[in-house]
A and B are shown apart, each in its own frame.
Chain A
Amino acid sequence: MSPSIAEPKYQPHRMARRWAGPLFGIACFLATLTGVLVLSVVLGAVIAAALRQPGAAPWYHLGTNLRELFDLLLGLVQKPQSSDPLRAGFRAGVVGSLWMLGLVGLMAIPVGVGAAVYLEEYIAPGALRRIIQTNIANLAGVPSIVYGILGLAVFVRAFGMKEYALGRTLIAGGLTLSLLVLPVIVISTQEALRTVPNSLRQAALALGATRWQMVRDHVLPAALPGILTGTILSLSRAIGETAPLLMVGAAGSIGVLPRSPFDRYTVLPVEIYNYAKNPKVQFQTVTAGGILILLLLLLTMNATAIIIRNRYARSG
Chain B
Amino acid sequence: MRLSTGLRLTPMALLLVLQGCGGGSSSSPTVEVDGSSTVFRISEAAREEYSRLNPNVTVVVDNHGTGGGFSNYLNGEIDIVDASRNAKPDEEAKAKAQGIPWSRFTVGTDGITVVVNPKNTFVKSLTVEQLKTIWEPDSKVKTWKDVDPSWPAQPIVFYSPDVDSGTFEFFTEAIIGKARQQRDDVQPSSDDNTLVNGVAGDPDGIGYFGYAFYEENANKLRAIPIQPSADAGAVAPSVTTILDKSYRPLSRPLYIFVKQASLRKAAVRGFVEYYLEHIDVLAKKGGYVPPTPEEKEANQKALSSGQAAPTTSAKDAA
By a beta-carbon cutoff of 8 Å, the part of chain A in contact with chain B is 80-84, 106-107, 110-111, 113-114, 157-158, 162-169, 171, 212, 216-217, 220-221, 224, 246, 249, 251-256, 259-264, 274, 276-281, 308, 312
Contacts and interface: CB of A to CB of B under 8 A. Distances in A.
A162 B45 CA distance: 32
B198 interface: no
B64 A246 contact: yes
A82 B48 contact: yes
Nearest to B28: A256
B286 interface: yes
Given A217-B2, A220-B3, A165 B58 contact: no
Nearest to B34: A252
Interface of B: 1-5, 8, 11-12, 14-15, 18-19, 21-26, 28, 30, 37, 40-41, 43-45, 47-48, 51, 58-64, 75, 77, 191-193, 196, 210, 212-213, 215-217, 285-287
A117 to B, nearest CB: 10
A277 B65 CA distance: 14
B190 to A, nearest CB: 9
Contact of B212 (A110, A261, A279): A279
Which 3 pairs across A and B sit closest by C-beta, in order of nearness? A253-B61, A262-B24, A253-B44
A262 B62 contact: no
A110 B7 CA distance: 9
Given A110-B11, A167-B25, A252 B62 contact: yes
Contacts of B8: 110, 114
B281 to A, nearest CB: 11
Contacts of B58: 254-256, 264
Given A216-B2, A251-B60, 8 more contacts: A83-B286, A106-B11, A107-B11, A110-B12, A264-B58, A274-B40, A276-B191, A280-B216
Contacts of B26: 256, 259-260, 262-264
Contacts of A278: 41
B145 to A, nearest CB: 33
A277 B285 contact: no
A264 B30 contact: yes
A263 B211 CA distance: 36
A279 B192 contact: yes
Contact of B45 (A83, A113, A169, A264): A83
A162 B23 contact: yes
A166 B62 contact: no
A252 B1 contact: no
Nearest to A266: B60
Contact of A276 (B25, B41, B75, B193): B193
A166 B44 CA distance: 25
A221 B2 CA distance: 8
Given A110-B8, A110-B11, A274-B63, A252 B216 contact: no
A166 B19 CA distance: 8
A114 B18 CA distance: 20
Given A83-B48, A83-B285, A110-B8, A255 B59 contact: yes
A260 B215 CA distance: 41
A274 B190 CA distance: 12
Contacts of A254: 58-61
Q: Which of A106, A169, A279 has the most chain B CB within a 10 Å cutoff? A: A279
A81 B48 contact: yes
Given A263-B26, A279-B192, A81 B37 contact: no
25 contacts: A81-B44, A81-B48, A83-B41, A83-B45, A83-B48, A164-B19, A165-B22, A165-B23, A167-B25, A171-B18, A216-B4, A246-B64, A249-B62, A251-B60, A252-B62, A253-B47, A255-B48, A255-B58, A260-B26, A261-B18, A276-B193, A277-B191, A277-B193, A279-B210, A279-B212
